Amino acid sequence: MTLDYDLTSIQEARDLVRKAKEAQQTLAGFSAEDIDKVLVSIVNAVEENAEALARLAVEETRYGIVEHKITKNLFASREVYAAIKDIKTVGIISEDPELKVIKAAVPVGVIVGITPTTNPTSTVIHNAICAIKGGNSIVFSPHPSAGKCSFAAAQVVNDAAVKAGAPDGIVGCISKSSMKATEELMHNNDVSVIIATGGSAMVKAAYSAGKPAFGVGPGNVPVFIERSADIKQAVCDIITSKSFDNGMICASEQAIIADMPVKDQIIAELKNQGAYFLSQEEVKKVSSVVINPKGGMVPALVGQTPQTIALKAGFSVPADIKVLIAPLDGYGPSYPLSYEKLTTVLGFYTVSDWHDACLLSIELLKLGGIGHSFSIHCQDDQIIREFLKKPVNRILVNTPSALGGIGSTTGLLPSLTLGCGTWGGSSISENLGPHHLINVKSLAYGTKKVTLDTKATSSLTPSLDTNNTSSCELKSDDIADVVKQVLKQLQLC
């Protein structure tokens, strides 16, 4: 009997979770040192396979740049491990002798990771390392367009973990991608947590699965170049960021907001460093091929070069052009390029001062980036701090936004899963790390004794006396009634 594709994918999902649960129960008994050995083995294996995985990702998805995907794979392993290796996630993680509270970490269990086409191997590597660091297992559901490379990345990680003594199945991945299989994973009773890195619809589905979830939202990141900025460096940072892997990191800049007094300098420097300014006619052409009528990216042009996008739009640009710049007078449906563009296209606006930059950036964020990130190039710290009031959780200062947002060029936790907080519909507002993937138990000793003021039985009032260690004495014939009143006042009944 031949089963249809959906049925076999559902069965595969169930089998992977069953195996992951058994593996996790074994891993839960590992010491912090044992887990560290597993992580070191994973990092070494990723370093050996970083290029092969990067090439497989580009070949399968047709997105991005091999060399940059190699960098992302190494970042997701080497840099992430270096940042999290000293975080306590196993056993007793803190003791407070004064408050007499001991905190202990325990794993959350089996995690499901839903991964995107934009970072199909690096996201698997990052999320697997964070999961294992907390003593968990993880099963991935990759995007169908990146199923082979994501599966290969998961296999590299699992094999390396097993080589270091971890149980087989600690990292699994669906080989038969389907919506039915993803739904099975998200709703499986043995799954404890979901990490959803992908489109808004998938993230919403993860949050509605009835269990804890970590999702990320779009990042329509504005970048403001204020008049005090180092213009040359600012432009270098922006082009470096936007051209990195052809603009597919969600923290990459989406629209330049130029301060009027330095507008001409910014334009000249952009052209000097490899930006091509589109004519109004070319803006219309690019808009029609890059953005669909609903304001979303056309999948075929995600992570593409400026030359590919221009050719698709019916014109050509020189081979040395790194990004396309679209001058815009407004935002919203009439200005398609004001939306998020995970490719090598940037909007361009001019404002009179930083106040107007604030207002415009909020409007752009409302189009699909609320809660994610904002970038600013400025030397005036007072102005920079004004942007702390804006509805984003990452204000990235004088750095390439894509690399700063993931923690590569800033002090943020290195991560490829960036929370957007409640503004963006996310359960976390920071970069996801292993500390989000553990439960923390608290063992708390009593430090205060309850004594009773029984002088007036009509208004029996409990008080806390840290000096009186004797037991409470009730001077009432009706002890049961007194106890009931005390418990009520203590809000224990």
Give tens-digit pLDDT for 279-326. 999 999 999 999 998 889 999 999 999 999 999 999 999 999 999 999
H-type helices in 389-452, by residue range? 401-405
CA separation, residue 48 to residues 68, 76, 84, 210, 235 (Å) = 16, 14, 21, 39, 34
Contact 124, 147 (CB under 8 A): no
Hey, which bits of 37-100 come out as E strands?
Answer: 91-96
Q: Which of 321, 340, 361, 366 is nearest to 251 (CA)?
A: 340
Proportion of the chain above pLDDT 70, given as a percent? 91
pLDDT at 6: 87
Record the tokens describing residue 56, joined without a space. 């497989």
Q: Which of the four pLDDT bands, split at 50, 70 and 90, describes residue 473?
A: very low
Record the tokens describing residue 443, joined without a space. 């063992």
CB-neighbour burial class of residue 296 (10 A; exposed 0-12, middle 13-18, buried 19+): middle
Calculate ∠ Cα 395-396-398, nearest 5°.
140
Q: Read off the pLDDT of residues 163-202 as tens digits, 9 standing for 90 and up.
A: 999 999 999 999 998 899 999 999 999 999 999 987 777 7
Domain 5-216+433-441: give its CATH superfamily: Aldehyde Dehydrogenase; Chain A, domain 1 (3.40.605.10)
pLDDT at 253 over 60: yes
DSSP category for residue 208: T
Q: What is the mean pLDDT of the chain?
A: 92
Contact 161, 41 (CB under 8 A): yes
Hey, which bits of 314-369 come out as E strands?
Answer: 323-327, 345-351
**In the chain, where does the domain assigned CATH 3.40.605.10 lie?**
5-216+433-441
Q: Read off the pLDDT of residues 379-420 as tens digits, 9 standing for 90 and up.
A: 999 999 999 988 999 999 999 999 999 999 999 999 999 999
Distance CA 85, CA 35 (A): 10
Distance CA 433, CA 130 (A): 6
**In the chain, where does the domain assigned CATH 3.40.309.10 lie?**
221-405
Distance CA 464, CA 450 (A): 5
Distance CA 15, CA 167 (A): 15
Q: Read off the pLDDT of residues 138-167 as tens digits, 9 standing for 90 and up.
A: 999 999 999 999 999 999 999 999 999 999
Judge whether 236 counts as a catalytic residue.
Answer: no
Contact 364, 222 (CB under 8 A): yes
H-type helices in 103-199, by residue range? 122-133, 147-163, 179-187
Q: Which of 253, 264, 278 is nearest to 328 (CA)?
A: 278
Record the tokens describing residue 94, joined without a space. 């803190």
Match domain 221-405 to its CATH number in 3.40.50.300, 3.40.50.720, 3.40.309.10, 1.10.510.10. Answer: 3.40.309.10
pTM above 0.85, yes or no: yes
Q: Read off the pLDDT of residues 18-52 as tens digits, 9 standing for 90 and up.
A: 999 999 999 999 999 999 999 999 999 999 999 99
Q: Which of 324, 404, 390, 318 is nearest to 355 (CA)?
A: 390
Exactly one of 130, 250, 378, 420 is catalytic; which is it? Answer: 250
Look at strands 101-107 and 91-96 and give their pairing. Answer: antiparallel
- Pick the residue with more confidence: 485 or 364? 364
Q: Which of 164, 170, 77 is nearest to 125 (CA)?
A: 77
Q: What is the largest CA-CA distance in the chain?
A: 96
Q: Which of the four pLDDT bands, split at 50, 70 and 90, describes residue 2?
A: low
Distance CA 190, CA 361 (A): 43
